[in-house]
Every structure is written in structure tokens, then in C-alpha cells.
């Protein structure tokens, strides 16, 4: 049986420290092979247009495009991409609409372990987990 290619993720967040933490968790705890980063939605969408991603983790509130706008653009380009949105405003109307689009929403603050567990659950099928 051929081994599946390593997973690739994209993190879109305007907070450099959080981006670094998310990359560490995705690579070290979850085992994702490649994690690219973008500081805003426009840069994230540009990367998404050039690469295949199994997972996108995006913040909700960022300068420029909101996380909801990013999600809409991502799903137009690839309806099957798995997306996790991070937010401090879990009851915002746009966040509710994103949830209705099948996006997993994770409220800030969250623990590293909880983030890792959510990502593992979201990636279950992509990682060959039942």
C-alpha cells in the first residue's frame, strides 16, 4: 500500500506569536508535513491559489478581509477544503453563518491540547482515521 503524501496546512492570522504557536502545534503535535503562513486574508488567498492545502486555519478578525470573506473565497475555489476558524466573538452573525457553511469554529482563548484535538478531528478522513 502506498503511503499518503504528507498533509499541508495554511495558517492565516495577523498575530505573529499566535501564527508561530499554531505552526508548532500543527507540525509537532498534529504531524502536518508543511505549514505555510499568511498575515492577512489577501496573502492567504494568494497562497491558496498556488498550492494544494488539506487544512486552512484562519482568524476571524484581521485587517482587510475578514475570516468570513476568506472562508467564502476558499470554499469557492475548493469546496472540500477543511477549515478551522479562530475567533474571540463566537456569537457574531458572520461566525454563525460560517459555522452553517460547515466550518469548525474555535473560540479564543483555547488550550494547545484542545486545538490539537480539534484539528485531529477535522482531519480525521484526510489522515486515514475513522
Q: What is the pLDDT along the chain (130 residues), one digit of tens a residue?
A: 556 778 999 999 999 999 999 999 999 989 999 999 999 999 999 999 999 999 999 999 999 999 999 999 999 999 999 999 999 876 678 888 899 999 999 999 999 999 999 999 999 855 544 3
- Distance, in Å, from the CA atom of 1 to the CA atom of 9, rounded to the nearest integer, reads 24
For residue 84, give the nearest of 30, 38, 127, 121 by alpha carbon: 121
- Distance, in Å, from the CA atom of 118 to the CA atom of 106, rounded to the nearest integer, reads 8
- H-assigned helices in 27-111: 41-50, 67-77, 93-100
CB–CB of 64/46 below 8 Å? Answer: no
Prediction pTM value: 0.91
The residue with cell 505549514 is 35
Domain boundaries, the chain: 8-122
Domain 8-122: CATH class, spelled out: alpha beta
The residue with cell 486574508 is 41
Q: Give the chain's length.
A: 130
Amino acid at each position: 500500500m502506498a503511503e499518503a503524501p504528507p498533509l499541508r496546512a495554511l495558517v492565516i492570522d495577523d498575530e505573529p506569536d499566535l501564527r508561530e504557536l499554531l505552526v508548532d502545534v500543527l507540525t509537532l503535535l498534529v504531524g502536518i508535513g508543511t505549514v505555510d503562513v499568511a498575515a492577512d486574508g489577501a496573502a492567504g488567498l494568494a497562497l491558496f491559489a498556488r498550492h494544494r492545502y488539506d487544512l486552512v486555519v484562519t482568524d476571524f478578525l484581521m485587517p482587510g478581509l475578514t475570516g468570513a470573506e476568506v472562508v467564502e473565497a476558499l470554499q469557492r475555489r475548493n469546496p472540500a477544503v477543511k477549515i478551522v476558524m479562530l475567533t474571540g466573538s463566537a456569537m457574531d452573525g458572520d461566525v454563525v453563518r460560517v459555522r452553517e457553511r460547515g466550518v469548525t469554529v474555535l473560540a479564543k482563548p483555547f488550550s494547545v491540547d484542545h486545538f490539537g484535538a480539534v484539528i485531529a478531528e477535522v482531519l480525521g478522513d484526510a489522515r486515514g482515521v475513522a
